């Protein structure tokens, strides 16, 4: 029941924002550092996406979510951190890409120890 309420609340937040796919396409070559300086055109939707990504990473077995920082700007999700394996990096990216509203995932700053 808590998860259902959480998902419903997140859905409402997403409804408040608009999805700017053209803007996300324009930002496709922007570095993670530069993205953190860009002002979002859809702050409500970006907040929802970040929250949903963090929740999904936290509830996905085998992903050390506390080692991953998540930020979203205009539907572009940036994952930053160091995890144990390349498989965890790939799984984190796959989980993130599956979330509604995510235009692109930048995991260039998410690395593995092995």
Tens-digit pLDDT profile for residues 26-51: 445 556 555 556 677 877 899 999 99
**For 14, how many CA atoms within 13 A lie in the half-sphere containing its CB?**
17
How many other CB atoms sit within 10 Å of the CB of residue 4?
Answer: 8
- Pairing verdict, β 76-83 and 68-73: antiparallel
Across all residues in the chain, what is the average pLDDT? Answer: 80
Tens-digit pLDDT profile for residues 68-110: 999 999 999 999 999 999 999 999 999 999 999 999 999 999 9
Provide the percentage of residues in the chain whose pLDDT is more than 70.
Answer: 67
């Amino acid at each position: 029941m808590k998860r259902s309420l959480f998902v419903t609340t997140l859905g409402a937040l997403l409804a408040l924002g608009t999805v700017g796919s053209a803007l996300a396409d324009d930002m496709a070559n922007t570095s993670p550092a530069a993205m953190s300086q860009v002002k979002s055109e859809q702050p409500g939707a970006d907040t929802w996406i970040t929250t949903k990504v963090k929740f999904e990473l936290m509830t996905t077995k085998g992903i050390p979510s506390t080692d991953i920082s998540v930020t979203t700007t205009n539907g572009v999700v940036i994952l930053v951190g160091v995890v144990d394996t390349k498989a965890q990096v790939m799984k984190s990216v796959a989980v993130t890409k599956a979330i509604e509203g995510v235009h692109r995932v930048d995991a260039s700053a998410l690395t593995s120890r092995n």
